[in-house]
Amino acid sequence: MGLRSLFKKKKEPEPDNDSLPIAMASRMEDELEKVFKKFDANGDGRICAEELGAIMSSLGHPASEEELRGMTALLHRPPLQGVVN
């Protein structure tokens, strides 16, 4: 194989996100739901500031009440009302 054949060689197309197999996407969604439920301590389907604080602490990054308020400030609009769901 000479240099010319290297330059004439067609590149294989890169897969796009739309071609992600449905089964794999479903497994990812199931995994995300399991993780969400793990951190939704009271089981109401939402993660409030207190639960977010517990998550941060469990990851080794404890946050003050002020920091948690700052993180959730953008969520204090309808329909979220200060929680992640």
Model pLDDT, residue 12: 62
Q: How far is Cα 75 from Cα 64, in angstroms, rounded to an integer?
A: 18
Q: What residue numbers bound the domain in which 77 lies?
A: 23-85
| Selected residue with higher pLDDT from 60 and 17 | 60
Looking at every residue in the chain, the average pLDDT score rounds to 78
Q: What is the pTM of this model?
A: 0.57
| Residue 1 in domain | no
| Residue 51 in domain | yes
- Domains of the chain: total: 1
| Residue 28 in domain | yes
10's tokens = 């067609």
First and final C-alpha spacing in the chain: 57
Domain harbouring 47, CATH code? 1.10.238.10
Which residue type occupies 80? L
CA-angle at 50, arms to 44 and 55, nearest 5°: 90
| Residue 75 in domain | yes
